[in-house]
Amino acid sequence: MTGWRAGWRYALICGALSLAGCTLIYGERNSGHDLGSLAQDAASADATTADGAQGCAGLFCEDFEQGLAAWTVGGTIPAGGILAPDGVAPHQGQKSLHALMPPIMSSKLLVLSHTISASGPTFAVRAYVRVDQPLASFSSLISFEDPSGTTYSVTYQPASSCGGTPCWGVDNSQSNSRASSVSVSLGSWTCIELIVNRGSANTDVSLYVGPTLALSFTEANLANQAFTHLDVGWPRAGASMNQQEAFLDDLVFSSSPIGCP
C-alpha cells in the first residue's frame, strides 16, 4: 500500500491543525486564566491548538468544535457521504468529526490533510474513536506518513482477521498488517494512542487501546525520515461495500507519549 499522494487504496483524513498565535495550555487558548503548568510539548514555540481539544498536552490538537477551515480537502465527497464536524455523537463538547461513506458504484477518496513539523524520533497521536456498526472491511483510521509514502496506521480489523470479533491493529504500508487481541467496543468511545519511534536502524511501534498495550513490535527502519503528515483515515468504498461510518474527536499529536485514561 502506498501513500494517497501516490494512489493509496485507502483514503486518509489527516488531522492536526495549527492556529497561529494560540498557545496551548492543557487544551485551552491562553486567555489570561490560571490553567496550570504548560505540558512539556506545549512549552515549545510550535505548540498550538486548533480548537482547544480536551486534555490536550501536545504539539497539535483538534476537538472539531470550530469546523475545518484550516484543513486541506482531497478527493470528492460522494453523494450521501459526510466528512465534517457535527453533533451526532460528540465525545466532549458539541461536535466530533463525522465520517460516513455511503454504498457507491466506484472507488472514492476522502482526504483531509495537514502537514506536521516535528523532527522526531518519537511521534505519538492520541484520538477518541467511535464505531457504532461493524465496518465492511479493513479500515485505516489514524496514520503517520513520511515523504516516501511509508505509513504506520491504527486500523480497524474486521472479524475475519480477529478470530470472530472486530479488533484494533497496526498496518505498515511497506510490510504488513498486525491484528491485536483487543476487540473494538462498538457503540462507545475508545481512546487510542499510536506511538512510533524511528531510530537510525529500527522502528519501534506501540498501540494503546485505553490503558492497555494492545501491540508492541520492532522492525527494520524502512525509511529513516521524519513523518510529515498525521492522517486520520477512511477507506475507498466500492460497489460491494456497505455504508461505513465512524466518529473521531479530541485528537492530539505530540513528540512524546500522551497517554489514554
For the chain, domain boundaries: 4-254
Sign of CA dihedral 12, 195, 216, 54: negative
Q: Are 83 and 65 in contact (CB under 8 A)?
A: no
3-state secondary structure of 110: strand
* Phi, psi for residue 5 in degrees, rounded to 5: -70, -15
Which grid cell sits at 241?
461495500
Burial of 109 (0-12, 13-18, 19+ CB in 10 A): buried
Q: Does the N-terminal peptide bond of residue 211 adopt cis geometry, omega within 30 degrees of 0?
A: no
Instruction: Please report the pLDDT score of residue 25 as a whole number.
Output: 24
CA gap 41, 63 in Å, rounded? 18
pLDDT score of 188: 96
pLDDT of residue 241: 67
Q: Which of 22, 63, 61, 24 is CA-nearest to residue 40?
A: 24
Closest C-alpha among 160, 123, 161, 159 to residue 142? 123
Q: What cell was used for 213?
A: 498495550
**CATH T-level topology, domain 4-254:** Jelly Rolls (2.60.120)
Chain centre distance of CA 50: 15
- Residue identified by cell 482531497 is 74
Q: Which residue, 143, 153, 156, 258, is CA-closest to 211?
A: 258
CA 233/CA 124 separation, integer angstroms:
16
Angle at 199 between CA 152 and CA 39, to 5 degrees: 80
Say which DSSP state 168 is in: E
Can you give the pLDDT at residue 70?
Answer: 65
Spans of the chain, pLDDT less than 70: 1-57, 70, 74-75, 104-111, 222-224, 233-241
Its sign, for the CA torsion 182, 183, 189, 194, is positive
pLDDT of residue 84: 85
pTM here is 0.77
Q: Residue 171 is which amino acid?
A: D
Nearest C-alpha neighbor of 157 from the set 97, 109, 203, 209: 209
Q: Which three cell numbers stand for residue 107?
A: 472507488
Q: Closest Cα partner for 116 from 213, 254, 2?
A: 254
